[in-house]
Structure 1
Amino acid sequence: MTAMLLATAMGASAGSDANGQPPYRFDFGDGPVAPSYIGVRAEDAYTPEKGYGFNTPEHMSNVPASGTGTDSDAVRFLQFGTKSTNTFNVDLKLGLYRISVTLGNTSRATVAAEGVYQVLNLTGNNATDAFEIPITDGQLNLLVTEGKAGTAFTLSALEIKRVSPKPETSPTIWVGGDSTVASYYPLATSAQGGWGQLLADHVDLRAHQVRNIATGGQIARGFRDGGQLETIVKYAKPGDLFLLEMGINDTNPKNETTEAQFKEIMRDMVRQVAATGARPVLVTPQGRATDFNAEGVHSATGRWYRRATLALAQEENVALVDLNVLSSAYFTQIGREATLELYMPGDSLHPNRAGAAELARLVAEDLERQQIRVAAH
């Protein structure tokens, strides 16, 4: 009955799945409802008869947003957290779904569903992204939560489309790391980039999806204990890859992580992911743009606890992409000035979009060299 009510609300739609189920499109806020969308106000509580709504609408509010159409208004989550019950619920058949989200006005926010992170640190008003999620219990439970303390966490629009009746994620390349790996928004045009954001350009997307769980400022302990690893362990399976790059922020004295501690935290993450049947791959961070010697050779082998990462790869018998050395060879080849042009202005650490694209290329090429197939053949 619920599916019939939702389908009736949506009407027949191009893009229906193989069973004729149209995508569900929700327009949040108290403004006009866009054509072919279901309007949802903050006060709309979930009911089994309706099949969608907020679990605790008393903790939601309607707010304006800066865009047009569906993006002109939004709802704000007043209570949040990955384990919060203040969720937007939608009854769904068992299966694998693609969830497309558009936020309202926010400076940094994260999307969670089923109690774990899904898309991290979206920035800018009306930021958009998408993810796949298996529904095994008949209901999606989604909320927008904290990416940065003190900012608003809002949702303007949501599209839900079933891509398979089998509730299992597609073969996935999971990526963990810090700001040199993370995604930046808008995804297609951001000035700054992380190699995890651009990796999909070098992957056969018919064979794998890429899920980038990296975030700026992250350290190994934070990634393991703060919920990001939890997402990967929840969904990872045989045939998946887990690319993990850490060390830049771990070496900062304020994070109080010795090289020995870093190594054991990384070992724990490698073993947890390996236990799911997925394949861990360690990646060393590239150096700074300024790591050239007087002869014009770029070298950063002493940075970012690289030695611990190399030793760990050998001890745990896992693959290693030594991006530190690979990127240095590339930077030496192109020279100082061209290397600086691959980094953000006045910043010797963070690559711009072009720099991130080159780093992603180096990672993908080295995986292929090691016969870890990710590219189209």
Structure 2
Amino acid sequence: MKKIIALFLCVNLLVSIGHAQQFHFGAGRAPAGAVRVTTGSMYNAAAGYGFEEGAVLKETSRGIGADSPFFFSVRLPEGNYHVKTEIASATVRVECRRLMVRDTVTGKVSFTVHVRDTLIRNAAGEVTGKVRLKPRERNYRHWDNLLTIELNGRAPAIRSLEITPERKAITVFLAGNSTVVDQDREPWAAWGQMIPSFFQSGKVAIANYAESGEALNSFIRARRLEKIISRMQAGDYLFIEFGHNDQKQKGEGVGPFTTYKKDLRFFIREARSKGGIPVLVTSMHRRSFDDAGRIIINTLGDYPEAVRQTAREENVALIDLNAMSKILYEAWGEAASLKAFVHYPANTFPGQPDALRDNTHFSTYGAYEIAKCIVKGIRDARLPLARYLMNDVPPFDPAHPDDADAWYWPSSPLKPALKPDGN
């Protein structure tokens, strides 16, 4: 046992000083230095890697695969990592269903991923605090110092995996609520977990720190912003999108042009104090049509306008998602827009006895379309970040959304639990 623990510590030390971890799956000659992984290599803390329980794995000519989605985890120190892998008939997600490779691929792919824990550290690496998690977050895959890779598709398989620390990529931190967060269970999704698939590998790492139910001030109180700022380097970005929960707050002086703008300015100052680039994002509309089923009703009051004002006053880039989402929803219309939100009959998913009717949170299709609006906003704002978008990402017009029936998203094994916090 002592030898196994020593090996585990050695592997993580190599990663921390810049060397790659390599894994070879199944039979065949493994490259020098690569760890051979078999169908029996279940995750354990001593080894620091392995498959998660649940799938029936088998060796194939393409490596190790299954007839259903499966997960492989590697313990890593906090940071950004460049991942290269050879897969077959698979789409790739990480952590809480964060999309890295959308299309079902056979061959070699690479992506850059952010791994984190809850500890807040100063410049000397000393622990100075901790993010206050909600009970629901304790089972999330993205607070655990593990990089968990989900291989999904009709018959996914993996042959090789190489993980190397990535210190040159720009980190794009996301601060927001349930419309941004990496939703951990089907069928909910948000734009923050779709956006990584639009960026070039090795250039950008998306660090999604959003959480359901959060407002600007609660995000601060839970020390989530402090955690982001502790990790931020000059040239990194902070995308800020709140409003759905802020508008519910009551009290003397509380409102969009008072406390909300004050907190927005605090986020901006904190990012700039580290040489970061703040970007304000107006909240997308809820799905609320007029009596004729044509025009989207503004349920967010003056909160989007407060963001626009703050962007002008602080000379901050603005992505007007509120304006784009109005165009997008009205292009769908009342009936077709149901496919973009979490509207499903009872028993569509295992463990879902009741119908789902959610006009705030998105289906995977809807979240992907909103992510396309964010990409458009990045381009329209002429952010330098735009040069790192994938070369094959076409322009997007919210007035002409993609066909929902052409959307392909093989369902992840984690199925409905509780509706996300917030509305």
TM-score scaled by length of structure 2: 0.56
How do residues 262-281 of structure 1 correspond to structure 2 at under 5 angstroms? 262-281=260-279
RMSD of aligned alpha carbons:
4.8
Gaps of 5+ in 1: 24-32, 41-51, 53-65, 70-89, 101-118, 123-128
- Kindly state the Cα deviation for residue 183 of structure 1 after the two structures are TM-superposed: 1.0
Structure 2 Cα separation of the partners of residues 238 and 141 of structure 1: 21
1:299 is displaced (CA, Å) by 5.0
Residue equivalent to 2:60: none
Partner SS, residue 360 of structure 2: coil
Structure 1 residue 212 corresponds to structure 2 residue 208: yes
Alignment check: 8 A CA contact 1:171 1:240 kept: yes
Residues 210-246 of structure 1 deviation map (CA, whole Å, 9 limit, x = unaligned)? 0111111101101123211012111112221111001
Contact conserved, 2:190 with 2:364, CA < 8 A, in 1?
Answer: yes
Q: Does 1:131 align with 2:142?
A: no
Closer, same or farther: CA 132–222 of 1 in aligned 2, 3 Å: closer
Q: What does 1:227-306 correspond to in 2, within 5 Å?
A: 227-253=223-249, 257-259=254-256, 260-292=258-290, 294=292, 296-300=294-298, 303=301, 305-306=303-304
Partner amino acid for 2:183?
A: Y
Look up the equivalent residue of 1:368 and give its one-letter code: R
Q: Which residue of 2 aligns with 1:369?
A: 380
Asked if the contact 2:114/2:206 (under 8 Å) is kept, the reply is no
CA deviation map 1:143-190 (0-9, x unaligned): 9974317978999994699724x8x5731111111111111125xxx3
Q: Which amino acid aligns with 1:131?
A: V
Q: Which amino acid aligns with 1:350?
A: H
Q: What's the secondary structure of 2:312's corresponding residue? A: helix
Classify the secondary structure of the residue corresponding to 2:361.
coil
Deviations 1:293-329 (A, max 9, x none): 6372335385361111111000000011110110111
Q: Do the aligned residues in 2 keep the contact of 1:300 with 1:324 (CA within 8 Å)?
A: no
Change in CA separation of 1:8 and 1:171 when aligned onto 2, cut-off 3 Å: closer
The answer as to whether partners of 1:99 and 1:159 remain within 8 angstroms in 2 is: no
Change (3 A) 1:175 1:258: same
Q: SS where residue 240 of structure 2 aligns? A: strand
Q: Would you say the 8 A contact 2:181–2:209 is kept in 1?
A: yes
Residues 152 and 209 of structure 1, relative CA distance in 2, 3 Å threshold: closer
1:16: how far off? 12
- The one-letter code of the counterpart of 1:290 is S
- The code of the aligned residue for 1:340 comes to L
When normalised by structure 1's length, the TM-score is: 0.62
Counterpart among 340, 354, 368 of residue 342 in structure 1: 340
Cα 1:135/1:341, change in 2 over 3 Å: same
Aligned equivalent of 1:55: none
* 1:347 match: secondary structure: strand
Distance in 1, matches of 2:233 and 2:248, equals 33
Measure how far apart 1:140 and its partner are.
10
Amino acid paired to 1:179: S
Contact (CA 8 Å) 1:180, 1:350: kept in 2 or not? Answer: yes
1:197, 1:212 within 8 Å by CA — same for their partners in 2? yes
Q: Distance in 1 between matches of 2:218 and 2:182?
A: 18
What CA distance in whole angstroms lies between the structure 2 residues aligned with 1:276 and 1:331?
37
- Is the CA contact (8 Å cut-off) linking 1:237 and 1:276 kept in structure 2? yes
* Shift in CA distance, 230/332, structure 1 to aligned 2, threshold 3 Å: same
Whole-angstrom CA distance in 1 between matches of 2:217 and 2:361? 21
Aligned-partner residue type, residue 329 of structure 2: F
Q: Which residue does the alignment assign to 1:67?
A: 53
- 2:3 is equivalent to residue 7 of structure 1: no
Q: Percent identity?
A: 21
- Amino acid paired to 2:174: V
Amino acid at match of 1:7: L
Equivalences for residues 52-201 of structure 1 within 5 A: 67=53, 98=81, 131=115, 146-148=133-135, 158=146, 163-164=164-165, 168=167, 170-186=169-185, 190-201=186-197
**Structure-2 change in CA distance of 1:238 and 1:307 (3 Å):** same
SS in 2 for 1:376: coil
Q: Which of the pair has the greater relative contact order for Cα pairs under 8 Å at 6+ separation?
A: 2
Structure 2 residue matching 1:358: 3-state secondary structure:
helix
Determine which of 311, 314, 317 is the counterpart of 1:313. Answer: 311
